[in-house]
Structure 1
């Protein structure tokens, strides 16, 4: 598991960078745009890149054969570019250069997100993947917490400082990953191995079980993303909170998720991914449904803590489940499909649930989120478990040699 913790540095740097981006880029955009809706749209650029680029990049990485491995070339290209363009964002000279640097950073980050995620199952035996996913999500959570805790202090020094910090952190993490994570190196030449690599077609990955799983992923992300995006409005306009109380309340959900990331991975490995996910979906359905009847801020925060635990049961086990229902050579492709569906939900959910709020009032936020979780639960009932129980250690193959 030592390599898993070190691989978590990749997620740490990604989460750190995105948290700083989401916190401070809207402030830059506010100098040029008066519409909050337009600013919100500009902040969803990464989801559009994720929808169209990450499935293709993940699919390409399955077929990539180089002396550096399948995934590492994408990290060696994307991470330095992402670091440079992130550092350039606060140095923009106008709206055009700001948007240009934002686009280039989003493009660069899309180059290595799916390959970085796919590295985990590449170097981890099937039986350990849920625990490994818990570890890397835990590392990513630390990156987000550090961004909010330290980022505001650095921003006070200068608007460019947190972005420079993120860029340097990303480069350091890349160097550590390059030095420590050794992908299996094929004994044959890259040209010959590319010809002998099994053909992976996206349409072959969309069997009945996978489609039901992807449907569940879409619906539970619609529920989660909508609540995350609109909760502060719910808190201030319906629950009577101040701006700071509403935003602080979400911290309880995030911290509960972070603290339960490792246990939920262990539970998924011990009792089965589908079973733990169904418990998480059912539990979060009850939590969101209960919020509608809660008026106490204290009780609301208690429910958010419980909700964060159930969300960890869902989120930590979902990606390993998607991977476990396919073949080893399709890991990158299935990773890209996973991010396609979650990104589609991220784009769809805020405006959809915002429209529901406009039509029926703020209590409808958690009613509609509960409906999304109910639909996710129904999709889970239609999905077979489809998990590989065992699984080989990717580093213990007669046909490969790997650096230790």
Structure 2
């Protein structure tokens, strides 16, 4: 495993995730200038995930075609990043709900066009035997985006919201350009013939003429492991997205914090994620990916219960630390496990898109569902409501663990 290659891939993923994390932290507050219902705010925050479901599988399939032809995925990534930066930076300049919604939808559509493709770079530049560990470093980079987002919230938002919304897209464009400079000319796994390729049936490559053909193959897979893993991804992504999207309003409404301070509640959890994610990636190769994800969901439930039992700023911070560690166990394993079940290395971009279908569908419904329970019970019970939904996720992974044997990475 080349340390330099992993570094540049990690930075590329870091670049696009840095914008999304700041979006999740601060756009809900922008919406609350015009909307009072937490459920409606959560529904709008989940809308970008609906667009991801519609856009990412097709863009992943298109990038697979380009990668197999030797053209690479970078043209899509760089073009999408440039287009997404404009509406994102304009969000705080809007002065009414229709204009704000135009910027939000424009950003979500263009950013989703290259989001999954950026994540697929791991499979392009890292051999299958090292992807699990490489993904640990990538997720460590993702956790740093939460740190960066929290620091921007703490240090910049209360002074200048317009400047805060400009920092993230500029950072994204600069880092993606640097990563492309170092990786763009290197050959990728999809473009090279490999006599030792582990594809189960290389001839099936010609059968995948569209993303729907890949979906049919996934559904008809005899063991059902892929479909059950997709369901687990759907459930966990929904609750993680719900807690992240509503955490800043929870801090202002339930804990009485300022907007900037509430936006920084995720910072300690991000640090905990950063500290543990790489060790968890290595441990998962011995423990088994499905088992590691199941334990992570259980820890996530415990963290939410801690936050509900201790409704103070320190208690919420402790809850975010525990839930972030639980999420780390899931995050480093889910996509790599799905790649491992793919029928061909030439459809990994499409499988990344399918991962997005599961996670984005869950993330689209999660904030709205949790927000509706907040409307019914009040902000005080938000974390308890989340724990109940997360317990359902734990049941899904328990069933998956009983039906599959997770081989070491």
Normalised by the length of structure 1, the TM-score is 0.80
CA contact (8 A) 2:302 2:322 kept: no
1:373 aligns with 2:393: yes
Shift of residue 328, structure 1, vs aligned partner: 1.3
What's the secondary structure of 2:401's corresponding residue?
Answer: helix
Deviations 1:372-392, CA, capped at 9 Å, x for gaps: 233233332244246585xxx
CA contact (8 A) 1:10 1:174 kept: yes
Deviations 1:154-201, CA, capped at 9 Å, x for gaps: 44664432333223222212221221112438589xxxxxxx964432
CA contact (8 A) 2:268 2:317 kept: yes
Shift of residue 355, structure 1, vs aligned partner: 4.3
**In structure 2, do the counterparts of structure 1 residues 70 and 198 end up closer, same or farther at CA, with 3 Å as the change threshold?**
farther
Counterparts of 1:346 and 1:83 in 2: how far apart (Å)? 22
**In structure 2, do the counterparts of structure 1 residues 106 and 259 end up closer, same or farther at CA, with 3 Å as the change threshold?**
same
CA contact (8 A) 2:81 2:172 kept: yes
What's the secondary structure of 1:64's corresponding residue?
Answer: helix
Deviations 1:196-220, CA, capped at 9 Å, x for gaps: 9644322112331101111222222
- Name whichever of 322-331 and 63-72 sits farther off: 63-72
| Partner residue, 1:332 | 349
Q: What does residue range 240-255 of structure 1 map to in structure 2 within 5 Å?
A: 241-243=255-257, 250-255=266-271
Counterparts of 2:150 and 2:59 in 1: how far apart (Å)? 30
CA contact (8 A) 2:132 2:285 kept: yes
Q: What does residue range 163-182 of structure 1 map to in structure 2 within 5 Å?
A: 163-181=165-183, 182=186
Shift of residue 122, structure 1, vs aligned partner: 1.5
**In structure 2, do the counterparts of structure 1 residues 297 and 29 end up closer, same or farther at CA, with 3 Å as the change threshold?**
closer
Counterparts of 2:311 and 2:107 in 1: how far apart (Å)? 42
| Partner residue, 1:204 | 217
Q: What does residue range 205-220 of structure 1 map to in structure 2 within 5 Å?
A: 205-206=218-219, 207=221, 208-220=224-236
Shift of residue 232, structure 1, vs aligned partner: 6.5
**5+ residue gaps, structure 2:** 194-203, 209-213
| Partner residue, 2:196 | none
Pairs aligned (count): 381
CA contact (8 A) 2:136 2:278 kept: yes
Shift of residue 48, structure 1, vs aligned partner: 1.5
- Name whichever of 52-61 and 83-92 sits farther off: 83-92
| Partner residue, 1:108 | 110
Shift of residue 80, structure 1, vs aligned partner: 1.2
1:317 aligns with 2:343: no
Deviations 1:40-70, CA, capped at 9 Å, x for gaps: 4333331111121112211222222587633
Normalised by the length of structure 2, the TM-score is 0.79
CA contact (8 A) 1:215 1:379 kept: no
Deviations 1:324-378, CA, capped at 9 Å, x for gaps: 1113122111111111111111122233334455667727515513422332333
Counterparts of 1:295 and 1:87 in 2: how far apart (Å)? 34
| Partner residue, 2:48 | 46
Shift of residue 227, structure 1, vs aligned partner: 3.8
What's the secondary structure of 2:333's corresponding residue?
Answer: helix
For residue 293 of structure 2, the aligned residue among 267, 273, 277 is: 277
Between structure 1 and structure 2, the one with the greater Rg is: 1
1:347 aligns with 2:349: no
1:150 aligns with 2:164: no
Counterparts of 1:29 and 1:356 in 2: how far apart (Å)? 19
1:267 aligns with 2:283: yes
| Partner residue, 1:397 | none
| Partner residue, 2:139 | 137
What's the secondary structure of 2:281's corresponding residue?
Answer: helix
Counterparts of 1:37 and 1:232 in 2: how far apart (Å)? 14
Counterparts of 1:364 and 1:41 in 2: how far apart (Å)? 20
Q: What does residue range 65-80 of structure 1 map to in structure 2 within 5 Å?
A: 65=67, 69-80=71-82
Counterparts of 1:335 and 1:178 in 2: how far apart (Å)? 20
Shift of residue 130, structure 1, vs aligned partner: 1.7
For residue 125 of structure 1, the aligned residue among 104, 124, 127 is: 127
Counterparts of 2:32 and 2:302 in 1: how far apart (Å)? 38
Shift of residue 314, structure 1, vs aligned partner: 1.4
What's the secondary structure of 2:71's corresponding residue?
Answer: coil
- Name whichever of 86-95 and 97-106 sits farther off: 86-95
Considering only aligned residues, what root-mean-square deviation do their CA atoms show, in Å?
3.4
CA contact (8 A) 1:287 1:307 kept: yes
CA contact (8 A) 2:11 2:175 kept: yes
